[in-house]
Amino acid sequence: MAIAATIMACLVALEHFFILWLEMFNADSEMAASAFGVSRELLKKPEVQTLFKNQGLYNGFLGVGILFSLFVVPAAASMGVTLFFLAFVMVAAVFGSVTASKSILVVQGLPALIAFILVYLA
């Protein structure tokens, strides 16, 4: 169970590093336009680029936090810190699903929820 929990939490972290890459370094691409459901013209605006870069940075922080909690934090505190960061992801997914797109709940929230449950049970 602990191995499955670690793998799932790592997958959530990797997903957030992918989002970081997409938002910070590839935000005006066709992939980003499709993923976010907006036009490439909108994504090319400097103001939107700035907002996306900021969002991407926060997604990176979530990914780093999850990996930090798994591999750096002492074992006695690792579970609590991992649950803490996974809870952030779930809250962000709920907020994103209400304010931006319902699919965020499934794409980001569901993997985080599965990881949260596995970590808790491990």
Q: Return the residue matching tokens 């965020």.
A: 104
Q: Which amino acid is at 53?
A: K
| pLDDT per position as a tens digit, 21-48 | 999 999 999 999 999 889 999 999 999 9
Spatial separation of the C-alpha atoms in residues 104 and 4, rounded to whole Å: 23
DSSP state of 74: -
pLDDT digit string, tens, across residues 80-101: 999 999 999 999 999 999 998 8
The percent of residues above 90 in pLDDT, for the chain, comes to 94
Q: Which residues of 73-86 are buried (b: 16+ CB within 10 A; e: fewer)?
A: eeeeebbebbbebb
